[in-house]
Chains A and B, each alone.
Chain A
Amino acid sequence: MLEIRNLHAEIGGKEILRGLDLHVRPGEVHAIMGPNGSGKSTLANVLAGQPDYEVTAGEVLYHGKNLLEMPAEERAREGVFLAFQYPVEIPGITNAYFMRTSLNAQRKHRGEEEIDAVDFLSLVREKMKLIEMDEKFLNRSVNEGFSGGEKKRNEVLQMALLDPMLAILDETDSGLDIDALRIVANGVNTLRSEKHAVLVITHYQRLLSYLVPDVTHVLMGGRIVKSGDRSLAEKLEESGYGWIEEEVAKGGAPA
């Protein structure tokens, strides 16, 4: 589904990704961990098409198509979803209106009929129940005045509603208490199927105990330096990244 080869990307002239390779198959959940500044968020933003980032080398294939050539909105319509680390506020536009506009843009792209207000409401209510979100958030402006946790939950709501093929969660767990974490993980777990794939970017192992990844990667210096199963995440939580840095240094890999 997603094939990243030798990806190099920079922002403001500073190279962040330096030859990243990653292969995600349908049905898989991948966790990406790594110290601050290792390039985790850059990876998420480059995949979503954030215009401030510039890809200088490498390629990204998504369902066999060149993802990097598509404008951001087309990537979204093709099923790439980014749960933002810092969700953006949109004053004056209700959450319900925003989500329906978004859903209809994607349905239109797939050649489906637009969903009307009534059907939309019952659909979104069902999803809100799933992630235990109060319906009052439907009529509030998008993310405006939401707490950090509410914003994150709103991202998960949109994800559940849009049902993306490839969901990228950029530190969705940071700033969440343990209950919220469980709910967010539930939301993601319902997305799991043999067709969907999820990329979970996180600092902490704790989300991964609710959301068991198939593969865990360690991103360091703009490259994936180690991949393994869930035990890798646990080891990182206990021992930090020092031992991997040593390993990388010994292996002589460029940092």
Chain B
Amino acid sequence: MSSSQEDIRNLTDREYEYGFVTDVEQDTAPPGLSEDIIRFISKKKNEPDFMLAWRLKAYRRWLELNEEDARWAKVDFSPIDYQDISYYSAPKIKPKLDSLDEVDPDILETFKKLGIPIEEQKILSGVAVDAVFDSVSVATTYKAKLGELGIIFCSFSEAVQEHPELIKKYLGSVVPYADNFYATLNSAVFTDGSFVYIPEGVRCPMELSTYFRINEAKTGQFERTLIIADKGSYVSYLEGCTAPMRDENQLHAAVVELVALDDATIKYSTVQNWYPGDKNGKGGIFNFVTKRGKCKGRNSKISWTQVETGSAITWKYPSCILQGDGSVGEFYSVAVTNNLQQADTGTKMIHLGENTSSTIISKGISAGHGQQTYRGLVEIHQRAKNARNFSQCDSLLLGDRCGAHTFPYIDVRNASGKVEHEATTSKIGDDQLFYCQQRGIDPEDAVSMLVNGFCKEVFRKLPMEFAVEASKLLEVTLEGSVG
């Protein structure tokens, strides 16, 4: 009777496209976590004492934390053995590279398979790429050009060496080392990531971009990103990732901290496509990420845009602390769960300053047996006069075996606050599909078109080149599952 349901099911059978492993000799720490391992990591990275002290402080705190306390999210997985994870892995290459010619050809080949031709990107799109291959950065481009403007865009390890004063000042200032189980673990063992500093009054002339990739089997990836936009500056940062196919679950516990000073704007866009596991839920990445931005200065602005299509489990709440008066926080999200994927994602908007405002637009798409939760907190503190929030959470169900859940938390302590929340749940209607078919449109194409229409508000917020990629990703993810 309902042929569209069958169509959707038939469409759910595409394999993950990026399943391959690059064979690069890895310099890998033995599995297990101890103070010795942390000292090993810190030494390997030639870190100053304050970094080691900070890592150890985090590690000791982590030992006191109970993972069960972090299990409030609506996701289900078997316990992780943290002693079975290797906490350090670096491709064996020279630490400093002058040009792409010096990069391991295997690594370059991997990027090509992923459709990330670095050279082409440099030439065509003017995107400076800081490519993180497993745990060590292997290629940094456009550094000179950015350097002229005083912009620092480098790997986290390099920043620790070259700009320890900035690291000391801002590391953990948004996500403290004791923040939560996974962020604390990251603080103890993180290996690399990106660092960005935009000086006062500078508008970064290009989109800064990092592609992350997990490569070594059983190596948990602990990235740490810190972006500081000084007074009156602007930066747009893109983060995208894919991962090779594998059987064992991989933990990915990243931390991203953003700091915006007076009148500064940070736009952070993510396309996340970690390996989601196979149709039976085997394998796939656990994506337990803490992302938070602090609008520290007056009239500063932080805008998160994310397209989450991958991972077996996503646990992620890019948030804004609106501390400066008149600051603005935004969160635009498209999350897709297919097969047995689970996602518990959303945002927190913490209004501390006067006349602060926030916008939340969340689009969740569930297909197959996918389970998806939107969880959002809007908190208006006592001092936050005239704070405003608008939230809109829409869920789209494809097929009849998936689920969508919405948990909005609202806490208002100032009577002048104004909070609006809208939520809808819809299914791709048989009537919509039939309407498209009656106009001659293939049902697969129709589903893809309907889903894209549903996400349009968020895609519009992505930088141009990302918007195309996101649309394509959605098609692939849902073609495997939707169309």
Contacts and interface: CB of A to CB of B under 8 A. Distances in A.
Contacts of B457: 92
Contacts of B450: 90, 93
Contacts of A82: 438
Interface of A: 48-52, 54, 71-73, 75-77, 81-82, 84, 87-93, 98, 101-102, 105-106, 109, 141, 158, 162
Contact of A93 (B430, B440, B443, B452): B452
A92 B438 contact: no
B437 A49 contact: yes
A90 B432 CA distance: 7
B402 interface: no
Contact of A90 (B1, B442, B453): B453
Given A72-B438, A73-B443, A90-B432, A52 B454 contact: no
A72 B432 CA distance: 13
A102 B4 CA distance: 18
A48 B435 CA distance: 10
B435 A105 contact: no
A141 B438 CA distance: 18
B439 A105 contact: yes
Contacts of A90: 432, 435-436, 449-450, 453
Contact of B2 (A51, A71, A141, A158): A51
Contacts of A77: 440
11 contacts: A51-B3, A73-B438, A73-B440, A75-B438, A88-B431, A88-B434, A90-B432, A90-B453, A93-B450, A101-B439, A102-B436
A101 B449 contact: yes
A200 B450 CA distance: 30
A158 B455 CA distance: 25
Contacts of B434: 50-51, 72, 88
A89 B426 CA distance: 13
B445 interface: yes
Contacts of A84: 435, 438
A105 B442 contact: yes
Interface residues of B, number: 27
Contacts of B283: none
A73 B435 contact: no
B199 interface: no
Contact of A101 (B445, B455, B456): B445
B429 interface: yes
In the complex, the 7 A-B pairs of residues with the closest C-beta atoms, listed nearest first: A92-B453, A102-B439, A76-B440, A92-B456, A72-B437, A88-B435, A105-B440
A88 B445 contact: no
A82 B442 CA distance: 16
Given A92-B452, A102-B440, 10 more contacts: A51-B4, A52-B1, A71-B437, A73-B441, A88-B434, A88-B435, A92-B455, A102-B436, A105-B441, A158-B439
A181 B143 CA distance: 66
Contacts of B439: 76, 98, 101-102, 105, 158, 162
Contacts of A49: 437-438
A140 B454 CA distance: 14
B2 A48 contact: no
Contact of A91 (B3, B445, B454): B454
Interface centre among A73, A93, A98 (most CB of B within 10 A): A73
Contacts of A162: 439-440
Interface in B432-483: 432, 434-443, 445, 449-450, 452-457
A89 B454 CA distance: 12
Interface string B386-430: 000000000000000000000000000000000000000000011
A73 B438 CA distance: 5
A76 B439 CA distance: 6
Nearest to A143: B435
A111 to B, nearest CB: 14
Interface centre among B441, B449, B455 (most CB of A within 10 A): B441
A75 B431 CA distance: 17
A51 B430 contact: yes
A84 B438 CA distance: 10
Given A76-B440, A91-B453, A92-B456, A51 B1 contact: yes
Interface string B21-52: 00000000000000000000000000000000
A201 to B, nearest CB: 15
B452 A48 contact: no
A101 B441 contact: yes
A145 B430 CA distance: 20
A162 B2 CA distance: 27
A84 B435 CA distance: 8
Contacts of A72: 434, 437-438
A48 B443 CA distance: 15
A51 B431 CA distance: 10
A51 B429 CA distance: 13
Contacts of A141: 453
Contacts of B438: 48-49, 72-73, 75-76, 81-82, 84
A23 to B, nearest CB: 23
Contacts of A71: 3, 437
A50 B430 CA distance: 9
A102 B431 contact: no
B89 to A, nearest CB: 42
A51 B1 CA distance: 6
Contacts of A51: 1-4, 430, 434
A76 B453 contact: no
Contacts of B441: 73, 101-102, 105
B442 A73 contact: yes
Contacts of A76: 437-440
Contacts of B2: 51
